[in-house]
Amino acid sequence: MKSKKMKLLAAQLIWLPLFFSCNSNKVDSSLELDTALIPVTKTMEAELTAPPFVPAPVGNRAAMTLKVNMEIIEKEGTMTDGVTYNYWTFGGTVPGSFIRTRVGDEVEFTLSNHPDNKLPHNIDLHAVTGPGGGATSSFVAPGHHKMFKFKTLQPGIYVYHCATAPVGMHIANGMYGLILVEPEGGLPKVDKEYYIMQGDFYTEGKYGEPGLQAFDMTKAVEERADYVVFNGHVGALTGDNAITAKVGETVRLYVGNGGPNLTSSFHVIGEIFDKVKIEGGSEENHDVQTTLIPAGGATIVEFKVEVPGTFILVDHAIFRAFNKGALAMLKVEGKDNLIVYSGMVQEGIYHPEGGTIQSMPGEGAQAAVVDNKTKAERIESGQQIYMNTCFACHQASGEGVPNAFPPLAKSDYLNADIKRAIGIVVHGKTGKITVNGKAYNSVMTRQTLTDVEVADVLTYVYNSWDNNGTEVTPAMVTEVKSAH
């Protein structure tokens, strides 16, 4: 009997290696690492960064006790030129400070509510496994702080936000950010990393209406956003604040959507995402043009920049980009790659319906309008019209978009002929022009503005950015229209 048992055991031992070799590609879930059991060896202070920057990569460091100290600050800030808003923030910025951890870290999180604040707040981190994502343990009054702990169990990119009632109002005022949990061994190395987060804002005044704007609960409930922006305000990542890279570099963007309501259709004009971490999880997609990011969600996108230029980042629900502020810039420097992109090779005249000039409906002449504004009042009005109508192409400081839209700042073309400038605004223009020594070949569409609005916006432009200080009047606009 004993010998039979020994023979059976020997047979099992012979077949055991063969069984494992035949099933080597299968993952036995029972053998997966329990990340809750990863030991920590040391304690370190977490590096927190303001957007669009991120802390240094985790690399192959061991799991640690990571001390995160975050302060809640209620502060007035600029939404767009002439418009301010009372933001509620984690760390003084919208989005809040970027937190970078690795799987297995034990996070010791201290949330402080500045004594000058008016309201209690808390924090719900989607990376937390526990009641309220930490919200039930972090409710804190002004002048106090709360500390709680959690273990990072699953790698990914996660949103955090305030979850104090009314939750939607706290999020809508800017209380959101991202926490990254890197896998063991860290993420693959890239050349540049940036932090971008979309949010929708609801103000009592319409887009561009000047002054300090209050939160509008009715608009928020009805999901009628006045502003949809990256990193807290219009133009946060344009002009001198644009993110940068060099030709040949790989760029990784950590992109979140604080909401509180709208889904983002994130797209980089002129680029294709080589990799997309779907909803920030473990699944990876490739060769993606536009990726959806739900409210309260995030993703990681990577792409290699092959040619120089200014690449525009947008929510491709496109009126949000060009009319509500969801627009950013990536400026890439380096040598041209004519194999990848040649630029314009040939230009010609295209008349599919003959040589007759075509007109859009409703382009009839307007009656002359006279107003009694002072020059200062015209400039103030023109600034708001500019931010509503001209900002997307010509940018907040009039610098334009290289190789696409000409600058209005210090513009020799603009200052040389005021009537020509009026004509371009009221009638549109297509074809080549040279501005400040550089050639542009794009389209300026006819603007549907009244004579007063045309006068105001051009007066603002002529009195900004070292232009010649001309005051344009409605009568001058009417004269140019009559001569057309």
Per-residue pLDDT of 166-193, as tens digits, reads: 999 999 999 999 999 999 999 999 999 9
How many helices and strands in the chain, by DSSP H and E?
A: 11, 23
Is residue 427 pLDDT above 90, yes or no? Answer: no
Give SS3 for 387: helix
Binding site residue list:
121, 126, 161-162, 170, 175, 316
Cβ contacts of residue 181 below 8 Å, gap of 6+?
A: 101, 102, 103, 105, 127, 152, 154, 155, 156, 157, 158
Same topology between domain 35-185 and domain 193-333 = yes
pLDDT at 361: 46
Is residue 122 pLDDT above 50, yes or no? Answer: yes
User: Dmax over Cα atoms in the chain, in whole Å?
Assistant: 115
Per-residue pLDDT of 196-242, as tens digits, reads: 999 999 999 999 899 999 999 999 999 999 999 999 999 999 888 99
Query: What token pair was written down for 324?
Result: 């509500």
- Per domain, the residue ranges of the chain are 35-185, 193-333, 375-483
User: Cα angle at 119 between 81 and 197, to 5 degrees?
Assistant: 45
pTM of the model: 0.74
List, in sequence order, every residue forming a beta bridge with 238; answer none if it has no partner.
Answer: none
Fold of 193-333: Immunoglobulin-like (2.60.40)
Is residue 85 within 8 A of residue 76, CB to CB? The reply is: yes
DSSP letters spanning 217-259: HHHHHTT--SEEEETTSTTTTSGGG-EEEETT-EEEEEEEEEE
Per-residue pLDDT of 287-337, as tens digits, reads: 999 999 999 999 999 999 999 998 999 999 999 998 899 999 999 999 999
- CA distances (Å), origin 472, targets 163, 394, 477: 50, 19, 8
DSSP letters spanning 5-72: HHHHHHHHHHHHHHHHHHTTTS--GGGS--GGG-----EEEPP-B-TT--PPP-TTPPP-EEEEEEEE
Fold of 375-483: Cytochrome Bc1 Complex; Chain D, domain 2 (1.10.760)
DSSP letters spanning 402-414: TTTB---TT-HHH
Which of 28-37, 148-157, 195-204, 402-411 is predicted with the least confidence, judged by mean pLDDT?
A: 28-37
Which of 68-77, 214-223, 427-436 is predicted with the least confidence, judged by mean pLDDT?
A: 427-436
Is residue 390 pLDDT above 60, yes or no? Answer: yes
pLDDT tier, 4 (very low <50, low <70, confident <90, very high otherwise) = very low
pLDDT at 322: 86
Dist CA 296 CA 274 (whole Å): 24
Q: What is the CA radius of gyration of the chain?
A: 28
Residue 42's CB: how many other CB atoms inside 10 A? 10
Average pLDDT over residues 51-80: 97
Q: Between 446 and 435, name the one with better pLDDT.
A: 435
Is residue 368 pLDDT above 50, yes or no? Answer: no
Is residue 447 pLDDT above 70, yes or no? Answer: yes
Per-residue pLDDT of 334-367, as tens digits, reads: 999 999 988 765 555 444 544 333 444 444 444 4
Give SS3 for 425: helix
Domain 35-185 has CATH 3.30.365.10: no
Which of 123-127, 385-389, 411-415 is predicted with the least confidence, judged by mean pLDDT?
A: 385-389
Mean pLDDT of the chain: 88
Average pLDDT over residues 97-115: 98
Query: What token pair was written down for 348?
Result: 């010609």
Distance of CA 71 to the CA centre of its chain: 23
pLDDT at 401: 78
Query: What token pair was written down for 279?
Result: 């909803």
Is residue 402 pLDDT above 90, yes or no? Answer: no
pLDDT at 5: 44
Q: Is cis: bond before 55, omega within 30 of 0?
A: no
Dist CA 145 CA 250 (whole Å): 40
Query: What token pair was written down for 130?
Result: 């526990």
Dist CA 177 CA 231 (whole Å): 10
pLDDT at 403: 66
Intra-chain end-to-end CA distance of the chain, in Å: 112
The amino acid sitting at 381 is S
The amino acid sitting at 162 is C
Binding site residue list for Cu cation:
121, 126, 161-162, 170, 175, 316
